[in-house]
């Protein structure tokens, strides 16, 4: 006889008797169907999460790549900033040297305005080696300028030129080995270039006299001083006071006798008084 129920018997070992209960067949089918559906749902959800996981791993890899690219780019920007600041530092150094040159020219009594600038070259078109080369040139020029006696040791009118002239003490013509510059008694006299004092003593003709030896080939002489404010061996810089104007030695009035020697030979100091 066909029945719509299953009988389930539960028999426990060691005990007599058995328990039984009946279950509708339709309920068993529903249960089996439910298990299968549950299994399918589980599989499906596992599969989709796995795919999603793989996809997101790929996505995070691309994000990491992007971050490292950004980092590399920012490193490049940092390096460029370092180069730019180095360029600016060097350019600043050049400008400072030029301004110092201008200051020295002014101390020498030469009103020379330097044309700093000209055509502007942007930093990115300049190479560091080119700027080094430029700086080296300027440094050489600067050293030459500092040790060349260009300019005036004292502001005043030239009363006697270099060359042959009527000797103020003798009737015959004599050679004047320097120029005479009119001065007030005690007026400060300055070095016209950096150098070392090689003489600071009495001279039979020039009275109280100072001689300065400059780098390479130049020497300068200052005569008829009323006072000497340096001593032999002193290092002097352009613009330093070396003595005071007077009328010592063979002199007819307060003035400075100024000589410039080049390679031991006396030259006309007038050509060194200005750059023109």
Query: 183 near 245, Cβ under 8 Å?
Result: yes
Nearer Cβ to Zn ion (214/257): 257
Nearer Cβ to Zn ion (203/257): 257
Nearer Cβ to Zn ion (218/222): 222
259 is an interface residue for Zn ion by CB under 5 A: no
Q: How far is the CB of 183 from Zn ion (least distance, A)?
A: 12
Q: How far is the CB of 156 from Zn ion (least distance, A)?
A: 13
Q: How far is the CB of 172 from Zn ion (least distance, A)?
A: 16
Paired sense of beta strands 255-262 and 173-176, if any: unpaired
**Count of chain residues binding Zn ion (CB under 5 A):** 2
**Which residue, judged by CB position, is nearest to Zn ion in the bound state?**
257
Stretch that binds Zn ion, among 5-13, 53-61, 115-123, 252-260 (CB under 5 A): 252-260
Q: How far is the CB of 132 from Zn ion (least distance, A)?
A: 46
The single residue among 244, 257, 269, 273 that binds Zn ion, judged by CB under 5 A, is 257
Nearer Cβ to Zn ion (108/257): 257
Residue list 162-191, contact with Zn ion (CB under 5 A): 180
Nearer Cβ to Zn ion (180/194): 180
Site string for Zn ion, 202-231 (x = CB under 5 A): ------------------------------
Q: In terms of Cα–Cα distance, which of 101, 91, 80 is closest to 130?
A: 91
Q: How far is the CB of 157 from Zn ion (least distance, A)?
A: 14
Nearer Cβ to Zn ion (84/167): 167
Q: How far is the CB of 152 from Zn ion (least distance, A)?
A: 15
Q: How far is the CB of 273 from Zn ion (least distance, A)?
A: 15
d(CA 75, CA 187): 63
3-state SS record for the chain: CCCCEEEEEECCCCCCCCEEEEEEHHHHHHHHHHHHHHHHHHHHHHHHHHHHHHHHHHHHHHHHHHHHHHHHHHHHHHHHHHHHHHHHHHHHHHHHHHHHHHHHHHHCCCCCCCCCCCCCCCHHHCCHHHHHHHHHHHHHHHHHHHHCCCCCCCCCCEEECCEEEECCCCCCEEEECCEEEECCCCCEEECCCCEEEEEEEEECCCEEEEEEECCCCEEEEEEEEEEECCCCCCEECCCCEEEEEECCCCCCCCEEEEEEEECCEEECHHHHCCCC
Nearer Cβ to Zn ion (146/224): 224
Sites of contact with Zn ion (CB under 5 A): 180, 257
């Amino acid at each position: 006889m066909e029945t719509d129920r299953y009988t389930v018997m539960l028999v426990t070992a060691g005990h007599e008797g058995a328990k039984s209960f009946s279950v509708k067949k339709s309920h068993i089918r529903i249960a089996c169907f439910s298990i299968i559906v549950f299994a399918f749902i589980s599989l499906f959800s596992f599969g989709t999460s796995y795919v999603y996981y793989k996809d997101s791993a790929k996505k995070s890899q691309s994000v990491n790549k992007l971050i490292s690219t950004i980092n590399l780019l920012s490193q490049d920007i940092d390096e460029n900033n370092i180069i730019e600041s180095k360029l600016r530092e060097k350019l600043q150094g050049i400008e400072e040297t030029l301004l110092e040159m201008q200051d020295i020219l002014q101390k020498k009594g030469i009103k020379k305005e330097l044309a700093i600038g000209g055509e502007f070259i942007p930093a990115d078109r300049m190479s560091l080696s080119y700027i080094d080369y430029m700086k080296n040139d300027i440094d050489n020029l600067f050293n030459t300028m500092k040790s060349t006696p260009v300019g005036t040791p004292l502001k005043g009118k030239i009363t006697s030129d270099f060359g042959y002239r009527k000797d103020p003490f003798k009737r015959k013509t004599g050679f004047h080995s320097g120029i005479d510059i009119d001065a007030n008694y005690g007026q400060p006299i300055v070095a016209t270039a950096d150098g070392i004092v090689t003489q600071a003593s009495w001279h039979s003709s020039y009275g109280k006299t100072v001689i300065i030896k400059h780098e390479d080939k130049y020497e300068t002489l200052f005569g008829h001083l009323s006072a000497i404010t340096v001593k032999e061996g002193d290092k002097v810089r352009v613009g330093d006071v070396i003595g005071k104007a007077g009328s010592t030695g063979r002199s007819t009035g307060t003035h400075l006798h100024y000589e410039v020697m080049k390679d031991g030979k006396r030259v006309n100091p007038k050509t060194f008084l200005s750059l023109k």
